[in-house]
Structure 1
C-alpha cells in the first residue's frame, strides 16, 4: 500500500517547537525510569503538553542512539489497514531493514493484516536485538474497533525490545488493566503534566521575559492549575503590559484567548448531547452521578461523568472511588460563560435544582450557595433555619455561623427561630455579646410579628402560633441561663430554667436537657452534689431524645464533676469517659464536644499520675482556646496542662498556658479562672518576688452568707479559697523557715478544711488538708502534721491519687520519705498506708526531678536565651534568681521547683536515706 509522501512533514516526525520550550526534567526522569515497560501512556485534555513531552523524550532517546519512530494519528488511521501502513512507514524512516516486505504482506493479507503484519514486525524487532520506540501521537482520534484491536494485539505480543509511547486525550482503546497487572505500564496524566511553580517561572519569566513577581507567578500557576496552554495563552496577553500583575489578578476562563482556544479545540467538536451535559453540569463546583443526573436530565449520570472523564474533557475525579468530580476551573468558567450566552433562562433553574439536590443530601452549605446564586434569598434563609439547631446539637456551631455569613442580615434578624439557634451557637462558643444580641432579636421579633412558618414547621404547627411563641420565650430564657453559667454566675439560674421542669414533655428535648444541665451546674456550685446527680438521672431519658451529643456530653461531665467532688473517682471517670465516647461517636474525635469532655478526663488522669494520656487529652482541649467550656473545663485546660508541661521540663510552655488563661479570664471577666491561674503560677514558681509578696499579703474577707444559706454562691466561695491558698503558698516560698507565720497560716487553712467538710466537699477538703500538713511541718508541729497526714495518705492510696501529694510541696515529699523509712524500720504499721504506694510516690517524684534536671541541663548546655524581667533581683522569677550560680542552681533556673524541693533532690542524689532526709529538713521520725 502506497503512502502519500507529502504527509511525512507532520505525520512521521514531531511538530517543530513554537519558540523555546520548558524542559520537563521531572517527567523525563519518570520516562527514563520506565524504559523497560511496554507502554507509556501520556494522557490529558488539549493543551497540557502531551506531544511536547513525547518530543522531548524522543530527542533524548535519539541522542542515546535509540531508534524512535513517530506516528501522528489522523482520521485516515481510523482504519486498520491504513493505520498499519502508516505504522510500517514510520518504522521504515528510522530502521529500514526492519520492515522488509511488510508492505507487500499488508497488501496481500488486508483482511487479516493485524495478525500477519504485526507478528512479522515483532519477530523482526526481536531478531535485530536493537531497541525500537514507537511514538503514537493523538491516539484518541481512533475509534474503529479493528484498529483498536490491532493496537491491543501489538501490545500483547511485543518483545522487550519494543516500547510504545502513546499520547491521547483519553485512556480508552488500550489494554491498561492487563498491562498494569504485568507491571508493563507507565502512565503520565494531566496531574503530572501540570506545570509546577518552577516550570511556570521558567515559561513566564525566563522564556517569555515577563516582569512578574514570584507571587504573581504562583497566582497564575494556581489560577490555571498548571494548565500549560492556559499559561502560554495568558503569557501572550501579558506581553507589553505596563502592569501585568493587574491582569494576573483578573484571570479567569473568560479570558478571550482561553475562550477561543477552548471553543476551537474542544466544544465545537463535541456531540450535542455531550455539550448539553457539560453546560448543564458546569454550574456546581463538584459533581457526582446523582447530581449530574438531576442537572442534565440524563438518567445514567455516573456513567456520563466517567465517559467525560475518560475522554479527558477537563474533568478529574476528586477521590479514588471516582464518586466526586470537578471540571478544571478555567474550563468550568468558560462553560458557564457559554451557558449564560446561549441559554440564559436555564441558569436560575439549574442553581435551584442543585440547591434542592444538595439539601436532600444534607450538604447544606452548597445548598445555600446555589439558592443564593438562583436569587432565592428566602429559600437560602429557610435552609439555614431548618438545619441550624441540628448543627448546634451536633457540636457544629462554627459551621452554622459560617453559613450565616453568606446570608443578608435583613431576613435573618426577623426569624426568631433562627435567632435562637444563633444565640445558642454564640453562647457555646463563649461569645456572650453576640448571643445576647441574638436573644434581643428573638424577643423583638416575637413582640411585633409572632413567628414565621419556618418556626412552626420546626416545632409543629398543630400547637398553633401562640404555643410556638411561648416555647421560644422559654427557650430564650434557657439560652440566657446558659450565657450566665458560661460567665460563671448562678444567681438566677434556677429562676431562668424553672419553666422547663413544669412542662418538659411539651418542649424540645434539647431545651429540657440544657435546662437540666444548667440546674446541675447550679447544684454543683451550691455544693449540693447529690441533687446534681439526681438531676442528671432525671434528665437521662430526655438526653436520649436529643439529636446530637452536646447536651449529653455536658450532662455526663457535670455528673462526673459532682461525683468527683464527693471523691467517687470511679463514677467520675465513668461519666467522663462516657462523655468522651459519646462525643467521638456522634461528632468526631476532634469535635468541640470531644475536646471539652477530654479536658475533665485529662484532669482526673493527671491526679492519678497518668501523664501521657492526660497531656494528650488536654492538648486537644487546649486547641479550643477561650471557647473551652465553662470555667471548670478551662481550669483543667490551662492550669492542669501547665503543670504537666512543667513536669516535662517545658517551663516556657507552662508559662505561656497560664498567660493565655489569665488573658481569657480578663477578657471574659472570670474571677474564678483568674484565681486558679494565679495559684498555679505561685505553685510552679512563675512569679517574681514582688508578685509573690503581693499575693502573700492578700487577705480575703470572711465568707458571706446569702439568703440564710452559707453556700448560695459557691463560685464566690471557691474563688476566695483559691486566693487564700495562693497567699499561703506564696508566703511559704518567700520565707520557708518562718515558724510563727506558718502557724497562723495553718489556722487559716484549718478553718478552710472545716468549712469544706461542713459543705460535704470531700475533694476540696482532702486537698486543703495536704496544705494544712505542709503548714504544720513548716511551723515545727511535726507530730501533729504526721497525725493529720496518715489518714490523708491512706485516702489518697485508696483512690490512687498521686499528684495532689507530690504537688503539695517539699514538706509533703519529705514526710512521705519519713513514713516510708519508719515502715522499713517497723515503727509504722504496714496497714496504715500501703508500702507500695509510698514507694510509688518517692520513685515518681525522684524520676520526675531527675528527668527535669536532665532537660534543664541540656537546655543550659545549648545556651538558651534568657528572658529579661527587670534589672533587680525582685524582678526575676524564683527560677531565674539563680541563673548564674552553680550548675545545680542553673538547673533550678529552668524548672518550677522551690528551694526546699531542690534540697530534697540534692539529698537524694547524695544517696541519703529517708531518715537522713527527714533529719536534714527538720522532721521527726514517727515512733
Structure 2
C-alpha cells in the first residue's frame, strides 16, 4: 500500500542523538522502512494533503489496516518544498509525561532548531515541569513560525496516561495553523474531539477509507506478493477480508504455500481465536523449526537487534535469521536505514507471544531475564528494569532501580517511570528495600498526603534496620541482589524525617533529633542531604517563632547550594528566605528575594517549573498587602494553575488561603466562599494541623465572621481547645490570633486584650514585625471598643510608624471603620507630621474600598443552574467525578464501580478533557464551579 512511486524525497530529519539524552532512541524518530513495493493510493494521498490545513489528522483503525505504512510512504514521497515532518513512534514506555514530551519536543527541534521551548536536557533537570507552561511557550513559538510543520505520533494507542491525553488535548485546542498533528492509533484517543469537529479542524481517516479497493488488492497480490490469483479468488478474499491489509498479507503467505483458499477464507471469517489458530498452523508452523524457535523466543522483545537476540537465545547467528525472516515477509520491519534494529508487526508479535506462553511458559522468564541482563550491560537501565519485572526477577529488578544514582532519579528521562516500576514490585519486596522506600517517600513529598510520605519513610527505616542486622549476622553470605544498609543511607532517611517533622508538624524537638542522627551518619559528599537537613533546622527555628535564627541557618548554606548549581535546592532556599523575610515584616526585601527565586527557576528559553508557584504566591501576598488587589489575584490564580497541573498538594492550601484573603479584601463574599471551600478541600487532601494553623486559621476565622457565621467560628474554637496543643509555639500563636478575632466579634474586648498582650511581647522579642503589626491592630480595636481612645491612638501611632517604611496597607484597611476613624484622628495630631504622607495613603485606601457584593453563604454551588458543557459528562463519568471529589484513588474507584483500572483511567481522561482540566484537582474545582458537584460529594 502507499502512494505513487515517484522519486522519494524524505523531509523527515535524521535524528542527531549527540545533542539528545542517551535514553532517546534514534529509531523512534524515523518512519519505518518498507520491505516491499508500495501500492499507489492517490485517493488517500489527497485526503492526507487536504488534512494539512487542519489542526488534527486522526488515522484510526484496528491493527493491520496499514496506518503506519500509509503515513511512512506519504512522508517519504514529499517534494523538497513540502513541510518537514517530525515523526515519533510511540510505545508503552512513553507513558510518563517527561518521556512523552521529550520525544515530541526533540522531534520538533530536529525539524526546526529553536522551536522547542527548552533543550530536552534542561527539561530533564526540572523535577516537576510545568507542562502547561512548556506547551504555552511551544504554541507561542509555533505561532511565530511562517512555515508549516507536521507532527506524526504513531501508535498513539500505546499511551494510557490521563495527564498526557489532557495536555495533548489542550495543545490541540490552542494550536496555531503552522502545525498539523497526525495521530495514528488503533483506538480513538480518550479525549473529546467534539470541539475540533465543530470547528472543522479535524480530518479523520478510518477503516472505511483505509480498506483496500479491489484494484489495490489485485495490485498487491500481483506486484508485491507475485501471486497470479484468479479474479474470482480475489473477489472471494475481498468479500471475507473487507480490504484488511494484514489479512491480505496472511492470505498471500499461505496461498504461496499452496494452502487451499477456502480454508484460509473460513479462518479469516471466524472469530479472533480462529484467526490465531490459522496464523499458527498456516504461517508459523510452515516455517523451518529453527525459524519457528527464533520467532517465538524473540517475540518478547519490542525491538530486535542482532546482539540482543544472540543474548536472549544464547546463540551467535541471529543476524542470519533476521535477514531470512525479512526476506520471507514474515511481518518483520527494519526500524533504521542500516537495518540494525527491527520490530515485528504488533498483530504477529501478539500471536507469537501467546503461542510461546501456551507451548513453553517455563522458558519465558529466562528469556526476559537474559534480555534484562543485555540491556543492563548496554547501560539501558529502563529497558533492563522492564524486562526484569516481566521475568518476575524481583530482587534483580529492585537492584537495578537502586543503582540509579540519587542525583539522576528525577533528572533523566528513562527514570520517569520509576514510580510505576516500583508499583509492579510485590509489596513485600519493595518494603524490604530501604533505598526504594526512601525514593518513594522523596518522590511523594510534595504531591501526596503527609501520612503517605511518612509511611514510606518509616518503611525505609524498618527495612534498613532489618538489612543492617542481617549484614552484621551473616557478613559472608549476603545475596548479591539483596538490599544494602550502609550507614550513610540511614543518614538520608533521618534527614528526610527531619524535613517531614519540620515542614508538616512544626515539631522542633523531633526535627533536631533527626538532624543530629543524620549528622552522625551522612558522609561529606552527601551534600544534598546535608542541605536538606539545614532547611529542616531552619524550619524548626521558625516553628518556634525564631525567624532570625532560621534566616541565619539558611544563609549559612547558600554558598554550598550556589556552588553546586542545584536548581531544586536553590528554589527551596529562596522560598524559605522569602517566607521568613515576610514574617520579619521586610516586604521590600521579600519582594526582591522572590524576584531572585523566579529568576533562578527560569531557563534561557522561558518556561518555568511548577515550583515557581511558591514565589508567585509570596509575591501575590505582598501585592495584596500593598493594596494592589487585582494584580495579587491574577498572580495567585497563576500560581494555583501551576500547582494544580502536577497536583502539588503541599502547596495548594497556601494558595487557596491567599485567594480567600484577597477576595475578602475585595469584599466579594461569594468568591470568598468558593475559595474557602477550595482551601478546605486542599487541606483534606494534605492534612497538616501545624501548617493549617500558621497558614489558614486566621483567614478562615475572618471569612466566617465576614459572613456572620459565628456558630461555625465558635465550633472551631471549641474543637481546637479540646485537641492536644500543637507542638509549635508559632502555630499556637496563630490560633490565638484567630481566637482574638472571634472575641472581638463577640464584643469581648477585655478577653481579647488579655490574650493578645503576651503574644505581642513574644513576637516583638523574636522580631516578627508582620505579626506584631497584625496583633497591634487587633489590640487597637479592643481599646476602641472599651473607649480607651488614648491607648488606642498611642498604639496606632506606633503601628503607623512601623508600617510606613514597608508600605503596609491592607493590615490597616481590613481592620474596618474603627481603624479608619482612629487614623483620621491621628492625622490631626502634631507629632504625626513625619508619617503624614503615609497616613494620607491609608485614608485614601479606605475611601477606595469596594462595595460588598450580596451573597448567601449558606447556598451550595449546585443551587445555581449548571453551565452547559459542549460535550456533557456521561452518567458513568459523573459517578467517577463524584468519587474523585472524595479523594478516591484509581483502585478505590475500580473497586467501587466494579470495573478495571484501565477503564477508570479512560473515564478520567474523558472527564479531564470535557472539563478542560489537566489533573484531578483542577477537574474537581472546575466541576464545583460549574455546579456539577454539591457539598455532599466532598464529604
Checking the alignment, whether the CA contact within 8 Å between 1:45 and 1:313 is kept in structure 2 is no
**SS of match in other structure, 2:384:** helix
Q: Does 1:621 align with 2:643?
A: yes
Alignment pair present for 1:655 and 2:662: no
What's the counterpart of residue 497 of structure 2? 480
State which of 515, 531, 536 in structure 1 corresponds to 2:533.
515
2:390 aligns with 373
Matched, 1:441 2:343: no
Q: Distance in 2 between matches of 1:862 and 1:586?
A: 45
Q: 3-state DSSP class of the match of 2:774?
A: helix
Note closer, same or farther for the CA distance 1:577–1:773 as it changes in structure 2 (3 Å cut): same
**Match of residue 534, structure 1, among 539, 543, 552:** 552
- Contact map agreement 2:601 2:609 (CA 8 A) in 1: yes
Superposed counterparts of 1:679-698, under 5 Å: 679-684=699-704, 685=706, 688-694=709-715
Which residue of structure 2 aligns with residue 909 of structure 1? Answer: none
Summarize deviations over 1:220-257 as a string: whole Å, max 9, x none: xxxxxx99678999xxxxxxxxxxxxxxxxx9x99444
- Residue 860 of structure 1 and its aligned partner are, at CA, apart by 13
1:643 to 654, 661, 684: 661
Supply the distance in 1 between the matched residues of 2:468 and 2:544 (Cα, whole angstroms). 35
Per-residue displacement from partner, 1:172-216 (whole Å, max 9, x unpaired)?
899542695899x9x99996797869999999xxxxxxxxxxxxx
Aligned residue in 2 for 1:765: 772
1:558 aligns with 2:576: yes
Q: Hey, what does 1:493 align to over in structure 2?
A: 511
The answer to whether structure 1 residue 752 and structure 2 residue 759 are counterparts is yes
- Relative distance call for 1:528 and 1:835 in structure 2 (3 A) is closer
8 Å contact from structure 2 (residues 583, 769) kept in 1: yes
**Cα displacement (A) at 1:333:** 1.5
d(CA) in 2 for partners of 1:31 and 1:721?
67
Question: What residue number does 2:347 align with?
Answer: 330
* RMSD (Å), alpha carbons: 6.5
With over 3 angstroms needed to count, the CA separation of the structure-2 counterparts of 1:531 and 1:371, relative to structure 1, is same
- State the alpha-carbon separation in 1 of the partners of residues 441 and 421 from structure 2: 14
TM-score by length of 2: 0.53
Q: Which runs of 5+ in 2 are unaligned?
A: 1-42, 52-58, 85-147, 156-182, 190-203, 210-241, 250-267, 867-939
Counterpart check, 1:611 vs 2:633: yes
Q: What is the correspondence of 1:237-386 to structure 2 with a 5 Å cutoff? A: 255-259=272-276, 283-284=300-301, 329-337=346-354, 351=368, 355=372, 365-386=382-403
Identify the residue that residue 106 of structure 1 maps to in structure 2: none
Q: Distance between the aligned counterparts of 2:742 and 2:459, measured in 1?
A: 42
Instruction: Return the offset for 1:567.
Output: 2.3
1 CA distance for matches of 2:76 and 2:642?
50
Mapped partners of 2:512, 2:184: distance in 1 = 64
Query: Measured at CA, do residues 732 and 44 of structure 1 come closer, stay the same or move farther in structure 2, by a change above 3 Å?
Result: closer
Structure 1 residues 157-186: Cα deviation after superposition (integer angstroms, max 9, x where no partner): xxxxxxxxxx97972899542695899x9x
Distance in 2 (alpha carbons) for counterparts of 1:661 and 1:385: 33
Instruction: Give the structure 2 partner of residue 841 of structure 1.
Output: 845
What do the CA deviations read for 1:512-559 (whole angstroms, capped 9, x no partner)?
Answer: 112211111112223333332332233235435779644443333333
Instruction: Report how far residue 757 of structure 1 moved.
Output: 0.6
Q: CA 1:654–1:672 in structure 2 vs 1: closer, same or farther (change >3 Å)?
A: closer
Residues 506 and 540 in structure 2, CA contact (< 8 A), matched pair in contact too: no
Contact 1:509/1:545 (<8 A) preserved: no
User: Does the C-alpha gap of structure 1 residues 360 and 571 become closer, same or farther in structure 2, counting only changes over 3 Å?
Assistant: farther
Q: Distance in 2 between matches of 1:442 and 1:479?
A: 14
Aligned to 2:73: 171
**Which residue does the alignment assign to 2:749?**
742
Match of 1:720 in 2: 732
Q: Deviations over 1:649-695 (max 9, x none)?
A: 52342231242255367x55548538933652444535633233456
Distance 1:562 1:46, change over 3 A: closer
Give the distance between the partners of 2:474 and 2:643, measured in 1 at CA: 39
Matched, 1:731 2:738: no
Quote the residue 1:864 is aligned against: 864
Distance 1:565 1:722, change over 3 A: closer
Shift of 1:440: 1.7
Instruction: Select which of 797, 803, 811 maps to 1:796.
Output: 803
Task: Tell me if structure 2 keeps the 8 A contact 1:44–1:170.
Answer: no
Measure, in 1, the Cα distance between the counterparts of 2:279 and 2:773.
78
Distance 1:398 1:628 in 2: 20
**2:493 pairs with 1:471:** no
Q: Could you list the runs of 5+ residues in structure 1 that have no partner in the other structure?
A: 1-25, 35-41, 51-139, 141-166, 204-225, 234-250, 705-712, 867-927
Q: 1:803 to 1:293 in 2, by over 3 A?
A: farther
**Candidates 696, 706, 721, aligned match of 1:676:** 696
Kept in 2: contact 1:753–1:768 (CA 8 A)? yes
Aligned-partner Cα distance in 2 for 1:403–1:696? 46
Question: Aligned with 1:770: secondary structure?
Answer: helix
Does the CA-based 8 Å contact 2:571-2:597 persist in structure 1? yes
Matches of 2:60 and 2:330, distance apart in 1? 8
Q: 1:765 deviation in Å?
A: 0.7
Sort the Cα spacing of 1:278 and 1:172 in 2 relative to 1 into closer, same or farther, 3 A.
farther
Q: 1:480 to 1:812 in 2, by over 3 A?
A: same
Deviation at 1:380, TM superposition (A): 0.9
Distance in 2 (alpha carbons) for counterparts of 1:31 and 1:507: 57
**Whole-angstrom CA distance in 2 between matches of 1:571 and 1:457:** 56
Contact 1:357 1:367 in 2 (8 A): yes
Contact persistence 2:495–2:515 (CA under 8 A): yes
Q: How does 1:87-126 map to 2 (within 5 A)?
A: none
Deviations 1:4-26 (A, max 9, x none): xxxxxxxxxxxxxxxxxxxxxx9
CA shift digits 1:462-505 (9 cap, x unpaired): xxx9xx74323433433332332223211232233125557866
Structure 2: how far apart are the matches of 1:844 and 1:494?
48
Residue 276 (structure 1) shift: 12
Residues in 2 aligned to 1:45 and 1:683: alpha-carbon distance in whole angstroms: 56
Partner of 2:424: 406
User: CA 1:534/1:809 → structure 2, altered by over 3 Å: closer, same or farther?
Assistant: same
**For 1:427 and 1:195, how far apart are their aligned partners in 2?**
36
Going from structure 1 to structure 2, the CA distance change for 1:614 and 1:325 (only over 3 Å counts) comes to: farther
- Alpha-carbon distance in structure 2 between the residues aligned to 1:856 and 1:862: 13
For the residue of structure 2 that corresponds to 1:492, the secondary structure is helix
Q: How does 1:52-71 map to 2 (within 5 A)?
A: none
Residues 491 and 189 (structure 1 numbering): CA distance in 2 closer, same or farther, change over 3 Å? closer
- For residues 496 and 189 of structure 1, what CA distance do their matches in structure 2 show? 50
Question: For residues 817-838 of structure 1, what are the alpha-carbon distances to aligned partners after superposition, in whole Å with 9 as ceiling and x for unaligned?
Answer: 7778x79xx9974753337743
User: Is the 1:395–1:587 contact (alpha carbons within 8 Å) kept by the matching residues of 2?
Assistant: no
1:356 positional shift: 6.1
Counterparts of 1:800 and 1:363 in 2: how far apart (Å)? 57
Displacement of 1:390 in angstroms is 3.7
| CA 828–526 in structure 1, closer or farther in 2 if over 3 Å, else same | closer
CA distance in 1, matches of 2:244, 2:645: 41
Question: Based on CA coordinates, which of the two structures has the bigger radius of gyration?
Answer: 1
For 1:652 and 1:501, locate their aligned partners in 2 and report how far apart those are by CA, in whole Å: 46
1:856–1:47 CA distance, 2 compared to 1 (3 A): same
- SS of equivalent residue, structure 2 residue 849: helix
